[in-house]
Structure 1
Amino acid sequence: MIGRGDSSAFSFGKAALAAMTIESTASSPTFAQEALLIQESAQLGEATLIPAKLDIVDVGAVERIDYASRLSLLSQQIAANACYLAAGIDADLAKELLIKELAEFDQYIAALRNGDPSLGIIGAEERSKTLKHIDEVEAVWKPFKAAAEAIIAGQDIEKNVALISSTNMTLLERTAILVTDMNAEYANPAELTQANAMVIEIASRQTMLIQRISKDLCGIETGNPTLGTKEDLKKTVELFEVSLTALLNGMPEAGVMVPPTPEILASLQAVSAEWTPIRERLLSVEAMEVIPDEERVKLFEDLDHVGQTMQAVVDKYRTFAKQHL
């Protein structure tokens, strides 16, 4: 289990976290920053700067960044479950999850474009740069979704698995660019601080990495190196480890704050407690020619559970961010 103050994971460390974290600015013409009124002071006979009191409208900054991050998660989750379904591995569960995930991706991308009060996203996106990034995600998403739906229907399995295998990382990259753009647009003192935006992005990315691990395992199991290899698995495990350590301990030089509440710290420690034995099992996969059926099913279930535990951390960060503007 990774503890606070444990720096062992930083041997791979800071460079890896930096590589997966794109810096963003906190400026945006969409939101008013704190204005200053110049008021003449008769007593002092000079101009005095007084903060103007502005009405701040909550348009769901925290939710926009969170749901954009969930698109990244879904890009890997859908690829993993399409692989499992096509290979007949836990096929009933994979099919059920795949149908749900396709609907979620459609809902979230539409919400980021048009708004969705049920998700806490108020009002349509107006910024042309962000709309362009949404367009770029959808351009990859539409054929990707069609391939997944064909696999569900049992049509042209080999062709559609190949399409998903070759485009899932492009979809992940496009969604990551959208997340970074959302961070730059909506992380501002009026609605969301940059420090909170950073940890929400990294914590959300952890849920994506869990799904990428599952996808890597399916690529290994089915002999599909485009989907995942043992080297891919090792790198993904290392990235998850480094980021979890950063969230637990903080990494000020990368803009990652320490856990801001005892509840968030306890939740991260719960993730670490679940993750540590899973990590050892994942690393042992490198030495296996074939993953035993029982171990594969158990890994699938345990990864799903730690992903849920990590999502609970994201939710706690979201709540904290909304309460501490």
Structure 2
Amino acid sequence: MDQNTMSGARSMKGTLPCLVAILAVSLGGTAIAQTEGVYRAGAERIAASDDIRRLSQEIAAAACLADAGVDTATHMATLTNAIGEYDALFAALSEGDATRGIDQPEEDRKMNVALSRVQTLWDNYKPAIDARINGTADPSGLDYISRQNLNVMHSGKYLVSEVINRYSVPPALLSTDAFTLDIVARQRSLAFQIAKEACGVITGNTVLGKQARLAKASQRFDVSLNALINGFPGAGVVPAPTAAIRDGLTAVQGDWNRVQTMIDQIGGPGDVQVASDIHDRMSSIATAFDALVPLYVEESKAGIN
């Protein structure tokens, strides 16, 4: 990658406008997070919605590497598992799932409309994944995933915004806690987006991956990670609230610094093994955030009597 491009992108992170733009999410609207004393699992719903956003990028990254012939069986298994996970997440958000901490079905009309919009995109995306798993895809199969993965990701972003609008009401869920939790969970989708964009650039799939999007996703991940560690009140992000969370974020930062060096060296099509290495490292980082998300969920409930 062009050094000036990456250096310029990183230099932006010291400015308030850039941080706010990178971290921002709509927190407007009104909501009722509790109904007749029943906690409505706002934090858990944010985490589940962010998982839907993550899956859009995890699927695309796995499809890219499978198409390149890299550890095909493993990445095909990822696609299979992703379908089951998405369906379970959607069912939890719609009907409730006590194992995910969502005890109540969704009863709000606006939220159910938002869920329906996300489901419509998924219903069109899923057959392309199924076709690849079953070996029945025509040559445009990956192209459909390449073209649509960002739309599915943005539908997840929209869903998260609606959940925050609906459920971030004190004392059940403070807006700062909701926003911070979203940033934490979003790091997983950014991790897989970085892996996907890198794979697309390296394999020459210019629809799936672009240098500019890779730089932007990397910058967003970096700025968000620093904000999570140190806090950024002007953008609504609280600093790491516990020693365990800070230690986890600091460990991620060390791993991320090593991946950044690899990303800096991407200048176009090249050795697909580099794409595989970046994917594996970013997948490990996403797993680390999987462990941090429940800690933030619990911290968000500190004000509930």
Secondary structure in 1 matching 2:265: helix
1:308 aligns with 2:294: no
Q: Within 2, Cα distance between the matches of 1:81 and 1:292? A: 13
Q: Within 2, Cα distance between the matches of 1:199 and 1:16? A: 13
The one-letter amino acid paired with 1:290 is G
1:290 aligns with 2:276: no
Secondary structure in 1 matching 2:139: helix
Q: Within 2, Cα distance between the matches of 1:11 and 1:291? A: 34
Q: Within 1, Cα distance between the matches of 2:42 and 2:261? A: 37
Q: Within 2, Cα distance between the matches of 1:264 and 1:169? A: 30
**Corresponding residue of 1:109:** 90
The one-letter amino acid paired with 1:322 is K
Secondary structure in 2 matching 1:190: coil
Alpha-carbon deviation of 1:322?
2.7
Alpha-carbon deviation of 1:298?
2.5
1:23 aligns with 2:2: no
Alpha-carbon deviation of 1:289?
4.0
**Corresponding residue of 1:266:** 247
**Corresponding residue of 1:174:** 155
**Corresponding residue of 1:160:** 141
1:26-47 deviation per Cα after TM superposition (whole angstroms, max 9, x unaligned):
7314636xxxxxxxxxxxxxxx
Q: Within 1, Cα distance between the matches of 2:84 and 2:166? A: 26
Q: Within 2, Cα distance between the matches of 1:30 and 1:193? A: 10
**Corresponding residue of 1:87:** 68
Q: Identity over aligned residues, as a percent?
A: 28
Structure-to-structure mapping, 1:151-300, within 5 angstroms:
151-286=132-267, 289-291=269-271, 293=273, 295-300=274-279
Alpha-carbon deviation of 1:22?
1.7
Q: Within 2, Cα distance between the matches of 1:168 and 1:157? A: 18
Structure-to-structure mapping, 1:2-151, within 5 angstroms:
10-11=13-14, 14-25=17-28, 27-29=30-32, 31=34, 56-151=37-132
Q: Within 2, Cα distance between the matches of 1:248 and 1:176? A: 23
Q: Within 2, Cα distance between the matches of 1:9 and 1:258? A: 20
1:237-260 deviation per Cα after TM superposition (whole angstroms, max 9, x unaligned):
111001111111111111111111
- Report which of the two has the higher share of helix: 2
Structure 1 stretches lacking a partner, 5+ long: 1-6, 33-54
Structure 2 stretches lacking a partner, 5+ long: 1-9
Question: How high is the TM-score relative to the length of structure 1?
Answer: 0.85
Moved more, 299-308 or 70-79: 299-308
The one-letter amino acid paired with 1:90 is D
Alpha-carbon deviation of 1:83?
2.0
CA RMSD in angstroms, aligned pairs only: 2.0
The size of the alignment, in residue pairs, is: 295
Q: Is the contact made by 1:199 and 1:257 (CA closer than 8 Å) also made in structure 2?
A: yes
Q: Is the contact made by 1:213 and 1:233 (CA closer than 8 Å) also made in structure 2?
A: yes
Q: Which runs of 4+ in 1 moved over 6 A?
A: none
Moved more, 196-205 or 58-67: 58-67
Alpha-carbon deviation of 1:158?
2.0
Q: Within 2, Cα distance between the matches of 1:248 and 1:20? A: 14
Q: Is the contact made by 2:13 and 2:19 (CA closer than 8 Å) also made in structure 1?
A: no
Moved more, 55-64 or 228-237: 55-64
Alpha-carbon deviation of 1:145?
0.8
Q: Is the contact made by 2:33 and 2:40 (CA closer than 8 Å) also made in structure 1?
A: no
Moved more, 272-281 or 187-196: 187-196
The one-letter amino acid paired with 1:230 is Q
Distance 1:30 1:186, change over 3 A: closer
Alpha-carbon deviation of 1:107?
0.6
